[in-house]
Amino acid sequence: MQLAIFGANSSTGRHLTAQALAAGHTVTAAVRRPDGFPLSDPKLQTLGVDVYDKSAVERAIAGQDAVISILGIPYGRKPVTVLSRGITHITDAMALHGVKRLVTVTSRLLAVHAPKSSGEKPLYERFMYRRVLYPILTTMGRTLYDDMVRMEHITRATDLDWTIVRPSALYNTDEVSAYHVGPPESPGLYTSRIDLAHSLLREVTDNAHVHSTVSVFTTEGVPTFRDVLKKEVMRIGSWDHK
């Protein structure tokens, strides 16, 4: 498969790129700074792409069989448009070049941040997370999650064969585990980045959830809430955020 990955230089993106190459796929890594991309392979093409640049996005998508988007930015107070503008340029380019399969990543927090999509059930979770943690995180990341909502709406409005994947709180591990994929309201607090990457590659090749939104979360060896708070939100501790 010819596969374009937007956001390939994120932690999840590097896992995904390595897994796709190991599986024999040909990968175009669309990144903002191609000189800093650490992977190399005869089947890997690294392109410098700003998703605000429609022409650059079109060049990255021409000739592909499928596209995976892992666009994301840190929390901040300023309005965010990179996700919605990026997915607009990506989906427009896919329509232009006749590429149908799209898998994109948002967040399980949208299940509490935004009005539910048609047919989506309430998010069932422990009281502390539902009533305390999630409101704090969705307030801190309000502008980011607002743009994720716009991105999901744009994706669903296309004629593409799309799948939206919503991971839980992300953390790092070294090996793929027996993670769970299910409806958006499925309970599960944490998702390792390597599991997320594996699920994205499986979605784009198996086509099991076309025109669906799914959650993915890790079920084995998950960290404590304190670890995730320190290392992911406060960025204190040892695991790697490269």
Residue 156 pLDDT:
96
Q: DSSP H helical segments within the chain, as ranges?
A: 11-22, 54-61, 82-97, 110-113, 127-128, 134-140, 142-156, 193-206, 225-228
Cα distance between residue 85 and residue 16, in whole Å: 23
Residue 75 pLDDT:
59
pLDDT along the chain (242 residues), means of 10: 97 97 98 94 97 97 98 75 96 98 91 58 56 60 83 97 93 92 82 97 96 93 68 50 40
Residue 122 pLDDT:
56
Cα distance between residue 57 and residue 60, in whole Å: 5
Residue 133 pLDDT:
61
Q: Report residue 86 as tokens.
A: 């990026």
Cα distance between residue 73 and residue 75, in whole Å: 7
In the chain, the domains with their CATH numbers are 2-233 (3.40.50.720)
Residue 127 pLDDT:
55
Q: How many residues does the chain have?
A: 242
* Strand partners for 220: none
Cα distance between residue 181 and residue 120, in whole Å: 15
